[in-house]
Amino acid sequence: MSIMKIIFLTGVLSFAFWTQLFAQDPESSPENQALLDEQAADIFKALVPVVKKGASGTVEVRVWRKRVSYGTIVGPDTVLTKWSEVSRDLRSLSCRTGAGQWLPAVVSGVYPDADLAVIKVKGLKVDPVEFSNEKDLRPGSFLSLVRPDGEAAGMGVVSVMPRSLRSSDRAFLGVVMDLEFKGPGVRVRRVEPGTGAEQSGLRAFDVILEVTERKVNGSFELSTLLQRMEPGQKVKIRYARGGNESEVEVELGGRPRAPRIPYSRMEQMNNMGGHRYSEVRDGFSSVVQSDMQIEPEDCGAPVVDLEGRIVGVAIARAGRIKTFIIPSSAIEQILALEPAAPDAQLGNAGRIPLPEARKAVDDPFEVMRRRLEEMRRLMEEIEEGDQQRP
């Protein structure tokens, strides 16, 4: 381990110790807070050599001279950034380099599933970044977000290893569970049409007792089992119907995609929590999760490990201590594809059509359904986080 890394880790551990100590002291003084601020500043200074190389391949992306995101230089005159941020106004797009050079920019393509935009910047004479494979990352690995001026915009650790956030990548049995049923087992309230559950012959009021020879005593236990499975996987389900037990084989499908919360509703929820999150922060096919605290306009910047290797691009501030990063291997796979035309994607930049938006806001049952869906996702994330711990 290099001397620089030892010094940095020592500073981080010291900072974490004093943060925890002061957090437990309800009478922590302004002097204590000043000490924490000073230690945090020292840590960011120690990160300068780490982010230096990546900084040269980073630019500010601005709309009407206001920064809306960062961008990662991925080719000659080519920058990759967060699409939902720059899509709000494509008429006055520009990039600013770390040297302070202002250059006009235009969006040439979009990868909507990753919420990434390809920007062409005429006159950008900067070498593209070199991506390194994220295979060496582990839960607890330190990461830092790169700024064009050579400073770190944020730091944190890996909290969850690469995973998909797409609904279609999550196993879906095809039943709606009766949450009021006391067990044992899980009673089916409704079977969704066209699903593996319907095709296998499962019906409403059946009680699921086992999945792949594992007993299930409640809805949470059944959901946890399904989280560990994949669409297309076939599972044996033992169930009770009218006092008799039977067994069927069910091919799991992909979970139907829930509609996005409209932008105005999302902003209202964020403001209530006192934090600003990215408008588009789910549906990615591969992300690393970190506890790094960044701002939504920090997305699009490269992320480096303690060796200064670029291991991904920050794509979303998704929670108070939850930032999503598209890993380098996924970025390279995305760039190998032909991007979509930006004009065709302007109506799909994280917003939903007006009739659906009105329904989501005005219909109290829809509001309640969305809140339950958010709670379900939170429980899934907690469970997935537990699975990643050694």
369 or 208, higher pLDDT: 208
Residue 54's CB: how many other CB atoms inside 10 A? 27
Tokens of 51: 């982010």
Confidence band of 187 (pLDDT split at 50, 70, 90): very high
Spatial neighbors of 34 by CB under 8 A, at least 6 apart, are: none
18 or 42, higher pLDDT: 42
Crossing angle between the packed helical segments 354-362 and 364-388, to the nearest 10 degrees: 90
334 or 99, higher pLDDT: 334
Confidence band of 370 (pLDDT split at 50, 70, 90): low
Answer whether 118's CB lies under 8 Å from 313's CB: no
Phi, psi of 53 (to 5 degrees): -65, -45
Alpha helices for 258-363 (secondary structure H): 263-273, 328-335, 342-345, 354-362
What is d(CA 145, CA 167) in angstroms, rounded to the nearest whole number? Answer: 28
Q: Measured in whole angstroms, how far is the alpha carbon of residue 253 from the centre of its chain?
A: 23
- Mean residue pLDDT across the chain: 78
Segment among 54-58, 107-111, 327-331, 369-373 with least mean pLDDT: 369-373
Confidence band of 34 (pLDDT split at 50, 70, 90): low
pLDDT at 80: 98
Strand duo 175-177 + 171-172: pairing = unpaired
Closest CA to 262 of 375, 357, 337, 359: 357
Spatial neighbors of 174 by CB under 8 A, at least 6 apart, are: 191, 192, 194, 195, 196, 197, 198, 202, 250, 253
327 or 357, higher pLDDT: 327
C-alpha to C-alpha distances, 330 to 75, 126, 163, 164, 292, nearest whole angstrom? 16, 23, 11, 11, 20
Q: What is the DSSP string of 44-78?
A: HHHTHHHHHHHHTTEEEEEETTEEEEEEEEEETTE
Closest CA to 111 of 324, 349, 334: 334
Instruction: Report whether pLDDT(75) > 70.
Output: yes
pLDDT at 42: 56
- What average pLDDT does this structure show over 237-253? 91
Tokens of 274: 């006192």
- What average pLDDT does this structure show over 3-24? 45
Confidence band of 77 (pLDDT split at 50, 70, 90): very high
Spatial neighbors of 26 by CB under 8 A, at least 6 apart, are: none
Confidence band of 261 (pLDDT split at 50, 70, 90): very low
Confidence band of 263 (pLDDT split at 50, 70, 90): very low
Q: Convert the pLDDT of each residue in 301-322 to its tens digit.
A: 999 998 889 999 999 998 888 9
Confidence band of 373 (pLDDT split at 50, 70, 90): low
Cα 183–187–191 angle (5° rounding)? 165
Instruction: Report whether pLDDT(355) > 50.
Output: no
Segment among 24-33, 345-354, 356-365 with least mean pLDDT: 356-365
Q: Which amino acid would we find at residue 109?
A: G
Instruction: Note the CATH number of domain 167-254.
Output: 2.30.42.10
246 or 359, higher pLDDT: 246
What is d(CA 242, CA 218) in angstroms, rounded to the nearest whole number? Answer: 19
pLDDT at 11: 47
139 or 47, higher pLDDT: 139
- Of the segments 213-217, 244-248, 251-255, 263-267, which one has the largest average pLDDT value? 244-248
Residue 327's CB: how many other CB atoms inside 10 A? 22
The radius of gyration of the chain from alpha carbons, rounded to an integer in Å, stands at: 24
Sign of CA dihedral 28, 32, 34, 40: negative
Segment among 58-67, 91-100, 221-230, 340-349 with least mean pLDDT: 340-349
Segment among 168-182, 224-238, 368-382 with least mean pLDDT: 368-382
What is d(CA 49, CA 176) in angstroms, rounded to the nearest whole number? Answer: 53
Phi, psi of 215 (to 5 degrees): -70, 145
Question: For tokens 């588009």, what's the residue?
Answer: 280
Instruction: Note the CATH number of domain 47-166+258-390.
Output: 2.40.10.120
pLDDT at 266: 46
pLDDT at 252: 87
Instruction: Report whether pLDDT(81) > 80.
Output: yes
Whole-number percent of the chain with pLDDT over 90:
40
- What average pLDDT does this structure show over 41-65? 79
Phi, psi of 95 (to 5 degrees): -125, 145
pLDDT at 346: 73
pLDDT at 2: 53
- What average pLDDT does this structure show over 5-28? 46
* Structural domain boundaries in the chain: 3-46, 47-166+258-390, 167-254
Segment among 215-224, 235-244, 265-274, 349-358 with least mean pLDDT: 349-358
pLDDT at 152: 84
